[in-house]
Amino acid sequence: MKATLAPSSLISLPRHKVSSLRSPSLLLQSQRPSSALMTTTTAASRGSVAVTAAATSSVEALREGIAEFYNETSGLWEEIWGDHMHHGFYDPDSSVQLSDSGHREAQIRMIEESLRFAGVTEEEKKIKRVVDVGCGIGGSSRYIASKFGAECIGITLSPVQAKRANDLATAQSLSHKVSFQVADALEQPFEDGIFDLVWSMESGEHMPDKAKFVKELVRVAAPGGRIIIVTWCHRNLSQGEEALQPWEQNLLDRICKTFYLPAWCSTSDYVDLLQSLSLQDIKCADWSENVAPFWPAVIRTALTWKGLVSLLRSGMKSIKGALTMPLMIEGYKKGVIKFGIITCQKPL
């Protein structure tokens, strides 16, 4: 894999932002950085473009970890939660106890709300080609392809997911419209400027280089195309604040280890990146309140007899994942974790 430094041409931001873009928070994994990794990032923050072998191999280790994680856990998720591997969208403060199908509807609603927020629903005839970046087992792709009659290509790091996504497309007679492959979001196997909609639903949090991630999304978008990023973020830093509080970072680090996440960034970091690339109609929102019922529901399901048996059968990664879920709830409650949507349009 090539070096993962953010190209300096991408960045025309205030000084403290530039350093944060080149620091581990947007660049490298935070899974307890080794001292070699620390050396690399310190060098990077001094402006050096040298990336050590340790940093490169740590990015590769992250990719492998993500692939193995989803290879192992996707079957269990599908069995219990169906083909959407993302939060549901709920009315804030809704106290109604939903059934399983209610939660699945909330996951579909997440897709609909995201499209609506980005203004895509009014332009649906223009959506002919879609890329689903970090596609899971293809739930979004099949939904969007059916809704718009569009062609959709999904990419994931997990071969198990790509195969399952293709099998489901065949089973649903959609294989002429949608297809899935193993590919890296940071080096997408696509030409420039070909997708009317670039969709990333809960995959951005896995990307070790947010600047490169965004640059790739923009590269493959067609002129006038829409980009939608729905992702886990940390809270925006206040004016003058350089980093999260140590206890906040500690909480996120514990989540990172289990879910194979690199360092997090904020929604305003994404907005800054998009602005630096002169994207248009940049919008973002904090949907943390709208997703609040989700993790408690996943935990309740995991604690049923069926859930527990499936968890045990699925293996250690799933079990560790289940044990980490309460940390997600804590992160939202304490305002450290934010569920963000960021959208924009590529200029014509």
Give the residues lining the site for ligand SAH (CB under 6 A): 66, 70, 84-86, 134-136, 139-140, 155-158, 161, 184-186, 201-203, 206-207
Within the chain, how many helices (H) and strands (E) appear? Answer: 13, 7
List the structure tokens of 173: 């007679």
CB of 74 to ligand SAH, least distance (A): 8
Pick from 132, 204, 216, 203: nearest CA to 174: 132
Q: Using the minimum distance from each CB to ligand SAH, give the nearer residue, 27 or 66.
A: 66
The nearest distance, CB 138 to ligand SAH, in angstroms, is: 8
| CA separation for the pair 113, 197 (Å, rounded) | 15
66 vs 153, which CB is nearer to ligand SAH? 66
Nearest-approach distance from CB 77 to ligand SAH, in angstroms? 9
- Shortest Cβ 240–ligand SAH spacing (Å): 33
CB of 43 or CB of 167, closer to ligand SAH: 167
Q: Which is nearer to ligand SAH, 169 or 201 (CB)?
A: 201
β-strand partners of 226 = 197, 345
Q: Rounded to the nearest whole angstrom, what is the least distance from the CB of residue 135 to ligand SAH in the complex?
A: 6
Q: What is the nearest approach in angstroms of ligand SAH to the Cβ of residue 203?
A: 3
Q: Considering the complex, state which of residue 127 and residue 207 has its C-beta at the smaller distance from ligand SAH.
A: 207
* Joined tokens for residue 9: 């041409």
17 vs 142, beta carbon nearer ligand SAH = 142
Provide the residue type at 148 as one letter: F
Cβ 12 to ligand SAH, closest distance in Å?
26
Q: Distance between CA 298 and CA 311 in Å, rounded?
A: 12
* H helix or E strand, kind and range, residue 109: helix 100-117
Q: Is-contact 117 343, C-beta < 8 A?
A: yes
Q: Tell the residue number behind the tokens 């007679």, with chain if given.
A: 173
Residue linked to tokens 């923009």: 218
- Token pair 């514990």 is found at 254
**Taking the CA of residue 293 as centre, how many other CA atoms within 13 Å lie in the half-sphere pointing to its CB?**
19
CB nearer to ligand SAH: give 17 or 210. Answer: 210
Q: What are phi and psi of 78, to 5 degrees?
A: -65, -40
